[in-house]
Amino acid sequence: MTDQIETAELHGQPVIKLQTPDGAVALISLFGAQVLSWTPAGGEDRLYLSPTAVFDGRTPIRGGVPVCFPQFAALGPLPKHGFARNRLWEVSTTRAGKDFALATLRLTDDAETRALWPHAFTIEMTVSIGGARLDMELEVENTGDTPFSFTAALHTYLKVREVEALRIEGLRGLEYIDSADGDTLKKETGVGVSIEDEVDRIYRGAPPTLLVREDHRAMGIHSEHFPDAVVWNPWVDKSAQLADLPADGFRRMLCVEAAAVREPIELAAGADWWGRQSLIAM
């Protein structure tokens, strides 16, 4: 490790701390390869981490950027959001320069994963920070001799000042599945999406760039090779059902997720796939 990349602990769990000379900082949990915190240079933390999140090395951590693989949500036979977020990853690469710091974490199949999902794989999560930018890339390789399919997402929890005061731009005209309304198919007609109730939507064919605009700041969200975008906020009733989220936690968070959900990704033996999500603080 270097003075820009170091090992540390958060609530007793191992993390990698990235920092750049310009003051950008990120914390990545080895449990789940999950970015827990990201502070752009000269700014404040822009990821929401629940103050009641559980850090026991077994329970999914509420907040940051959980990695959903090889299943999104409960859309399949596996545990919700798959198993990658519940596994301990290893650090495979770290690099740093005058304007960036980067770490790659890796997870491979073992007896426990094969008992749930009988496939050989290697997945890597690469996190890079610098200036006002956070880049996250998920790469999946089929290391077996038979094809497999999967769904995936970077379940990004943005930290917001007041969820009712923001709007999401770039989704107008898209069809979406409204999971908060019985998985009905709808079309987005508004110029900007506002959060005024529970929102749980999977947008198909999302544009590469979205904007979350608040009163005095914004967040640009750029994705590559993720064809869908998920927007989620649990609102009052669902928040009350989540023991690891404060009753008012929904007001301070908004999930905008780069995802591949509507059509599973098919990987032939020996093939690989990657998808990226970049956050740019404004």
Q: Catalogue the active-site residues.
A: 155, 257
Count the residues in the chain. Answer: 282
CA angle, 14 as apex, 65 and 104 as ends, to 5°? 55
Give bridge partners of residue 95 from the DSSP assignment. Answer: 102
Residue 213 corresponds to which tokens in the numbers above? 């605009």
Give bridge partners of residue 267 from the DSSP assignment. Answer: 148
CB 157 within 8 A of CB 133: no
- Mention every residue, 6+ apart, whose C-beta is less than 8 A from residue 242: 62, 234, 249
For residue 88, CA distances in Å to 1, 31, 91, 113, 159 come to 19, 4, 10, 12, 25
CB 42 within 8 A of CB 129: no
Amino acid identity for residue 28 in this structure: I
